[in-house]
Amino acid sequence: MTALKLYSSLGNLCLTVPYELNPAFREIFKTAKWNPTGKVFEVKDTAQNRNKWAKFLALAEDASKALAAADLEDATAQELQQAVQRLEQALETANHRIDVAKKDAAAAAEMAKRFAPLLDEANEKLAKIEDEKRDAIQARDAVIAPILRIYDSHKIDVIIDDYLSGARRGYAGKPKCEAAEGRLIAVRKAIRAVGFDVPAINELLGTSLNRADKLREAAEALQHTKTSGLRPYVRSVEA
């Protein structure tokens, strides 16, 4: 809002008045003339007009306070309206999410209903496979039980560790590999005596003791295939 101002010029009082207060100003200064160039009202610079201006300022101050109060009320009303709108939007969003959640839950329930028979069937198949697996393991264990006893009695893991530690030392570890080789030959003989052969044992025994790198590879291969690499022993292929 334009500020209230008064200044004297060439015997006149130049008065700056906000547009909102023009009607009240005209009630007091009925003979004031508008100066479009200076955008001010002009009246004679007299004590009477100065007293009128003082009276007008008092009225203007009251009016300004009233306008400020009205503006505050308007602002408060707008803030409340905006708050209501935000609450309405939040409620709309919440309701939408509730609807989506209900639809998702219904779809999930329907899917669970359709999949339930398939799950039961899958569980039955799994149980059957587990039974077959258990039977197969028991049958396998029964077959390889003699081999496991041979491995245990000859301490096959110690033999493999001696191969590995000797191979890591290179030429200096050759005597240790030689000793391990003699014990591994006894293992192979015992295994073949019960009708089995282990290709990984044959591979390790066939590796030169001068090739530490190859000995290490062959020993590691035997370490992982002691039982899974079992084969029936055919005497005609014995070295």
Domain limits at 161?
155-237
Q: Where among 79, 111, 130 does a domain terminate?
A: 79
- For the segment 133-149, the average pLDDT, to the nearest whole number, is 81
Question: What does the pLDDT read at residue 147?
Answer: 93
Residue 223 covered by a domain: yes
Cα–Cα distance, 50 to 53 (Å, whole number): 5
- For the segment 181-210, the average pLDDT, to the nearest whole number, is 95
Does residue 91 register a pLDDT over 70?
yes
Determine the 3-state secondary structure of 44 from DSSP.
Answer: strand
> Given pLDDT bands bounded at 50, 70 and 90, which one contains residue 239?
very low
Residue 150 covered by a domain: no
Q: What's the pTM value of the predicted model, to 2 decimals?
A: 0.44
Q: Which of 78-87, 135-144, 160-169 has the lowest mean pLDDT?
A: 135-144
Q: Where among 79, 108, 129 does a domain terminate?
A: 79
Determine the 3-state secondary structure of 2 from DSSP.
Answer: coil
DSSP H stretches of helix in the chain? 22-28, 47-154, 156-168, 174-193, 199-205, 212-224
Structure tokens at 181: 């080789």
Q: Where among 33, 61, 79 does a domain terminate?
A: 79
Question: What does the pLDDT read at residue 1?
Answer: 58
